[in-house]
Structure 1
Amino acid sequence: MKIAGIRAAVPSRTVTNRHIEDMVAEHSTELGERDLREALRRVSFFLTYSGSRERRWLSDGEVPFDLLSQAVSEAIAEAQLQRSEIDLIVYTGVDRGFLEPAMAYLIGAALGMPQAHCFDIVDACMSWTRAAFVVSSLLSTSQYRNALIVNCEFNMRTDGRVNPRCFRLGNVDEVEWNLAAYTLGEAASATVLVRDDTRLWEFHFRSEAQYSDLCSVPLDAYMGYCVPQPRLGRNGPNYFHSFASEMFRVGKPHAIDIFNRLSVPHEEIKAIFPHAASMQAWWEMGTKLGVQDKIQSIYPDLGNLVSASVPVALARAREAGSVREGDQLAGWVGSAGMSFASFAFAL
């Protein structure tokens, strides 16, 4: 399987860490002055320590589908394909406009690929990686030749899964499960993958479902679909929560182990593309493996792009020329669930 085209589109509004602190202060009207100062101190420390500086959000007049359409058009053009040649569309990620039908059908209909087979893959920040694994298996069967993986992650809009609930703190303790929300950026990506039997991808996955309550976006009737846990639904139905510090603590050993499963020698890897949840955490893990200098982090400038983290970083590196055709690359992802993955491929 070969990446024939990969493009990303980010919105125009730049949001700094100071903007985040101002939003917390504006919406947390239930906090007294002393508690608000402590909450803002914790937010500032976490953002600075993690390596966050800014992120991009939708500006007035911008809509997710326009940015996705731009990314799709550019990726298909880069792949030198006609839209009629796309056999399969897979929509991935957390943010979406429809639960039914699959988002992929709406994209195929609107963007001139109505006959492409369509389905969605939902696996939190792991979604793009999981989709790449599924697509690689399908392309190897010869049933498909050209596939398109797309995602929109625009969770920070006013009616999104984060804003404004995660900024409206009722007490200082709520900072703990809302910190991850303050790191989120927005983006759309499109990846064209074509069958190429000379380019084999290596994937490794690991699941640790006992940590599934650490990060979630529950729906309205979620209590009837699970065994209730104290940490589930901390911000109520339809809103994001994440115990980020604990996820990093319990996840680091699993992430290191999954990367070590790659058969490609570390010294042969040109660049590593991680899930952009924290620059500091990935640097610490990379240092333990001696690969920290290979990690391509978009986190300081674009924030945590959820399932779009890896494809956006790949697209930017390819466009900048820091990676070129033939380079040996790797992906490294940790996600809610919890799940962990590493993969390697030649560009």
Structure 2
Amino acid sequence: MKFLAIEHSFPSRRVTNDHVLKEVREANAAHLTEAELATVEELVRACFTASGTTVRYHRAAGESASELATDAGRRALDASGLDALDIDLLLYVGIGRGVAEPASATTFQDLLGLRRATAFDILDACASWIRALHVADAFLRTGAYRNIMIVNAECNASDIYRYELRSLEEFAHWHPTLTIGEAATATILTAHRNGADEEEGFEASFRTWGEKRDLCFVPMANFGAYFGKEVDVAGTLRPLQFVSFGLSLMEFGTRKLIEHYRDLPRFEEFKADLVFGHSASDGAGRHVVEACGIDADKYRFDHRNHANTVSASVPVSMSEALKSGELAEGDRVLLMAASAGVTTALAKFTYHGR
């Protein structure tokens, strides 16, 4: 599998921790005591320190998710040397979406002018982009499609950000909201036609613990009819309100990701030159690489640069690494992610670019 392009777009509004803390204080001043406000601020600062959160990017007035993703898609086409009519499959992998149906991929098939492409969505929370790589690789190996584009528009902050904390009891499932950033990405893949041997081929492994789906979710209006599980959430669930028991999710997800990696020695034996992970927390990422015996200098800690950009985390990081020259032709790449669901994902490949 060959990467013809990986491009990303950030919205223009740079949001600092100080801005978030100011908004939290203002949103809660009327119903929390001064002592409670001080406790909330102390806890939020501690979470930012543990995760390495510094800034995140959110849309300014007039900026739209579709425009950000379309911009990334057009730049990916330019970088790839392909015409829009050369793309024959579009996969949309963002959690961010405006409709339950049809597939959000149809929006970008239209906006990017991919008239010869069929299009559908792949959704597995923050692991969605890695899932799409796995699907794309299978299609390319069989020759079902020649050129595949993967797009996401993780621009959820204006929908899910809630500075108001109705009670201190909500803190456990509320605070991860404050670390969500926004980004859009577009990746273009084609088959590697130069006789790559098995060692250079793409390989992925996924594991899922559905019983832990209540650790992190975004409910819809008909949530109760479909979730099939009682949830212990302080306060009232609201449609599109992000719920994430961050500490429990990180503990379970990182433990299972470490076990997953250790259970498959071929991923360790691969000896990656660069490791990219989901940017939910730099602290969690550091714990994973230390437990797995991975050289921390090979891992990109990107939460500090743009916070948690959900399924865009890995392609954003790879796009930046390509632009800086850190990722180059022939590098051996390992992807690692723990995602809501809970899903753990591993992928390895030798990077081949245009």
Q: Which residue of the other structure, out of 278, 281, 298, is the alignment partner of 1:275?
A: 278
CA-based RMSD of the aligned residues comes to 1.5
Aligned length: 342
Paired with 1:338 and 1:265, the residues of 2 have a C-alpha distance of: 22
- Determine the structure 1 residue equivalent to 2:191: 195
How far does the alpha carbon of each residue in 1:102-149 deviate from its partner, in whole angstroms, 9 at most, with x for none?
Answer: 111111112111220100111111111111111111111111010000
- Determine the structure 2 residue equivalent to 1:207: 208
Asked if the contact 2:219–2:237 (Cα under 8 Å) also holds between the matched residues in 1, the reply is no
Paired with 1:264 and 1:176, the residues of 2 have a C-alpha distance of: 34
Q: Which amino acid aligns with 1:49?
A: A
Paired with 2:271 and 2:251, the residues of 1 have a C-alpha distance of: 29
Asked if the contact 2:84–2:115 (Cα under 8 Å) also holds between the matched residues in 1, the reply is no
How far does the alpha carbon of each residue in 1:261-281 deviate from its partner, in whole angstroms, 9 at most, with x for none?
Answer: 262445731111100000011
- Determine the structure 2 residue equivalent to 1:344: 348
Asked if the contact 2:89–2:118 (Cα under 8 Å) also holds between the matched residues in 1, the reply is yes
Identify unmatched segments of 5+ residues in structure 2.
none
- Determine the structure 1 residue equivalent to 2:310: 306
SS at match of 1:287: helix
Paired with 1:90 and 1:184, the residues of 2 have a C-alpha distance of: 23
- Determine the structure 1 residue equivalent to 2:163: 167
Paired with 1:316 and 1:281, the residues of 2 have a C-alpha distance of: 21
The change in CA–CA distance for 1:243 and 1:264 in structure 2 (over 3 A counts) is closer
**TM-aligned CA deviation for residue 236 of structure 1:** 2.3
How far does the alpha carbon of each residue in 1:174-222 deviate from its partner, in whole angstroms, 9 at most, with x for none?
Answer: 1111111111110000000101252511101111112110100111011
Q: Which residue of the other structure, out of 286, 291, 305, is the alignment partner of 2:289?
A: 286
Q: Which residue of the other structure, out of 230, 238, 257, is the alignment partner of 1:236?
A: 238
Asked if the contact 1:208–1:338 (Cα under 8 Å) also holds between the matched residues in 2, the reply is yes
Asked if the contact 2:152–2:312 (Cα under 8 Å) also holds between the matched residues in 1, the reply is yes
Paired with 2:219 and 2:270, the residues of 1 have a C-alpha distance of: 42
Asked if the contact 2:86–2:116 (Cα under 8 Å) also holds between the matched residues in 1, the reply is no
Q: Identity of paired residues, percent?
A: 33
Identify unmatched segments of 5+ residues in structure 1.
none
Paired with 2:17 and 2:227, the residues of 1 have a C-alpha distance of: 35
Q: Which amino acid aligns with 1:101?
A: P
SS at match of 1:268: coil
Asked if the contact 1:5–1:192 (Cα under 8 Å) also holds between the matched residues in 2, the reply is yes
Q: Which amino acid aligns with 2:176?
A: A
SS at match of 2:266: coil
Q: Which amino acid aligns with 2:331?
A: D
Paired with 1:116 and 1:38, the residues of 2 have a C-alpha distance of: 53
Asked if the contact 2:335–2:347 (Cα under 8 Å) also holds between the matched residues in 1, the reply is yes
Q: Which residue of the other structure, out of 244, 251, 254, is the alignment partner of 1:252?
A: 254
Paired with 1:310 and 1:275, the residues of 2 have a C-alpha distance of: 6
Q: Which amino acid aligns with 1:70?
A: D
Paired with 2:144 and 2:287, the residues of 1 have a C-alpha distance of: 42
Query: Which is worse superposed, 222-231 or 173-182?
Result: 222-231
Query: Which is worse superposed, 234-243 or 39-48?
Result: 234-243
TM-score by length of structure 1 reads 0.95
**TM-aligned CA deviation for residue 150 of structure 1:** 0.1
